[in-house]
Structure 1
Amino acid sequence: MHSTGRVARALSISAIALASILSTTALSHAADKITIMVGGYEKQIYLPAKLAEALGYFKDEGIDVELLNEAAGVDAENQLLAGAVQGVVGFYDHCVDLQAKGKFIESVVQFSQAPGEVELVSAKHPEIKSFADLKGKNLGVTGLGSSTNFLSLYMASKAGLKGGDVVSIPVGAGGTFIAAMQQDQIQAGMTTEPTISRMVKTGEASVLVDLRTVDSTRAALGGTYPAASLYMETAWVDAHKPEVQKLANAFVKTLKFINTHSAAEIADKMPKDFYVGDKEGYIKALEAGKGMFTADGVMPEDGPKTVLAVLSEFSKNVKGKQIDLTKTYTTDFVKQAM
């Protein structure tokens, strides 16, 4: 009788222990579920996000990553601040802009050292041969207050144009950008691959200023311009260092893959609808632009200063504010990953 009671108690204790283990495992798994908003994941500038997923690097690190799509980076930023997502794949300049509002966001992995953007000009306006010729014109940007908006205004200013000389029109990217130019709602606009190649190939637009390479970016902006990145709230990073390290590991491996494989090999890993019916054009565009990506996720040394110079001139939030650039990015995780 006593023996039966002891067995029953042992089984009961085992059941409790098992339940505790399962509960701990579930909590651990929940902590490893990370949602990242991508500012248009079909854009080649944000290619590392989908590529890391396709290569299985998130799973290799034991993290469950969900990628959500959002056409404009400024909207993705709002989702992060609202706590709807834990990270954003978007332009680093949001980290600088938000510090001016008292919000601390940091680039954890720096994907690129050039914007990967181009100012396209409509073929309907052959009179536009330089940025100075854009006076009185409508310029397409992904969203008001977006990176494309600030960059466009900065280059207009460098060309001698004043505030109000150009009108920024939010047209998104991809199909909506193309439609806006076809309908002459915009006469020029800033966009990325594969939209650039699609419009140049059809003869509907030509390149006015190219920010797809480090050299052309230096010429246009005066320095490297760290753009695409994984950025997160500093408080979340500090509270979830193991998860952030796993993300950094996955993305550093992805950047290494980009650096050591051909554009065709990379394209083969991407969803077929990203080609928009022209895989050859997609590969050609990637071949020309993949030099924008960093090899290791480390922030280029002169980059933050260039970004601050652009934003100080055109972001009402940043103008005249003291910004601590060292708090807008961290290299701790990528260096550990290497």
Structure 2
Amino acid sequence: MKRRSFLAASTASVGTLAFPALVRAQGLEKPRMTIAVGGKNLLYYLPLTVAETLGYFKDEGLDLTIADFAGGSRALQAVVGGSADVVSGAFEHTVNMQAKGQRMRAFVLQGRAPQIVLGVNPKTLPNFKSVADLKGKKIGVTAPGSSTNVMVNFVLAKAGLKPSDVSIIGVGAASGAVAAMRSGQIDAISNLDPVITLLQRSGDLKIVTDTRIVKEADQVFGGPMPAGCLYAPQAFLDKNPNTAQALTNAIVRANRWIQQAGPSDIVKAVPESYLLGDRAVYIDAFLAAKGALSPDGSIPDAGADTALRALRSIDESLNNVQFDLKAVYTNDFVKKANAKYPKA
């Protein structure tokens, strides 16, 4: 009997060592789930891709489906509609949704600056001098209502222009955006890397505002402007705290890995399609955007105030709304993740 007990215990022990992710998954409320993202190939969402390709989500016992959409607003719609559980998207959506009576909460940061670049087309606007020259022009964004659209509206407002003074056109976040600029279909673009670096290197873009630079982003928005993050309905976080923690652990590991990684490491970690046919451009884009990526996943306490100011500058109706900004983010999961995966 003792020998049988010993063998049974040994077998169980081997099983535990062989399937650590399975054991962890047993503690998760929802190991199989869907994350919606708008433009997964963008460096804005690099931590999400790294966590996926390096197996960090699997290490936490998660079996994820990552659904990619044309822009952040579409990804948000997927969660609101119930076809996805969590959004990998722009932080300011959590503030905007509170105004609409829907409680969304960010729980781990991917980017500490928006990384969005507004630039003009040298072919259609060869004599461009200031943002005021964009009146009556066509501006490409990833998708109408996305963070790239918010950025355009914010910059226009500072120049005394209204959103209705321009035509907003959704061009996506990949080769379609590049083609729209090169063919002259749009006069300006609000987009992210690697699209921006590709256009810049080919001479098809003149930069107006560059929030890949943290200092410039802080000046544009008047404070720290949190960017890419994971956010979800408050009800999801309440019901699935262990699952949210597992997601946070994976993203924090990815954030830390990226800060230590070299360009060649990054190129190996992303799908070939992300490179848009030019590995050197992607490397340049990574180097340009790296400083804007979060080192540890923490959301700055002043970030919600900055996001609200930006949103109010483009939507006066928000001035009449009382916000509970503490309810749009939490660092509770991030603190635990950083304790589990401390800085090397």
Partners of 1:121 and 1:207 within 8 A in 2? yes
Aligned amino acid, residue 238 of structure 1:
D
> 1:30 Cα shift?
8.0
Aligned amino acid, residue 272 of structure 1:
E
Is 2:102 aligned against 1:93?
no
Partners of 1:90 and 1:229 within 8 A in 2? yes
For 2:5, the equivalent position in structure 1 comes to none
For 2:256, the equivalent position in structure 1 comes to 256
Unaligned runs of 5+ in 1: 1-24
For 2:60, the equivalent position in structure 1 comes to 61
Residues of 1 paired with 2:301 and 2:65: CA distance? 31
> 1:156 Cα shift?
1.1
TM-score, normalised with respect to structure 2? 0.87
For 1:271, the equivalent position in structure 2 comes to 271
For 2:34, the equivalent position in structure 1 comes to 35
Is 2:318 aligned against 1:313?
no
> 1:163 Cα shift?
4.7
Residues of 2 paired with 1:295 and 1:156: CA distance? 31
Identity of aligned residues (%): 38
For 1:210, the equivalent position in structure 2 comes to 210
> 1:279 Cα shift?
0.9
TM-score, normalised with respect to structure 1? 0.88
Is 2:279 aligned against 1:285?
no
Length, aligned pairs only: 315
Residues of 2 paired with 1:160 and 1:42: CA distance? 33
For 1:3, the equivalent position in structure 2 comes to none
For 2:182, the equivalent position in structure 1 comes to 182
Is 2:143 aligned against 1:143?
yes
Residues of 1 paired with 2:245 and 2:29: CA distance? 16
> 1:319 Cα shift?
4.2
> 1:336 Cα shift?
0.8
Residues of 1 paired with 2:35 and 2:163: CA distance? 35
Q: Which runs of 4+ in 1 moved over 4 A?
A: 25-30
After alignment, is 128-137 or 190-199 more displaced? 128-137
> 1:136 Cα shift?
2.0
RMSD: 2.0
Structure-to-structure mapping, 1:299-338, within 5 angstroms? 299-315=299-315, 318-338=318-338
| Alpha-carbon displacement from aligned partner over 1:166-203 (angstroms, at most 9, x marks no partner) | 22222222222223223333200100111111111211
Structure-to-structure mapping, 1:215-254, within 5 angstroms? 215-254=215-254
Unaligned runs of 5+ in 2: 1-23, 339-344
> 1:272 Cα shift?
1.3
> Larger radius of gyration, structure 1 or 2?
1
For 1:10, the equivalent position in structure 2 comes to none
Indicate the SS of the match to 1:31.
Answer: coil
1:229 to 1:29, Cα distance in 2 relative to 1, 3 A: closer
Indicate the SS of the match to 2:320.
Answer: coil
For 2:44, the equivalent position in structure 1 comes to 45
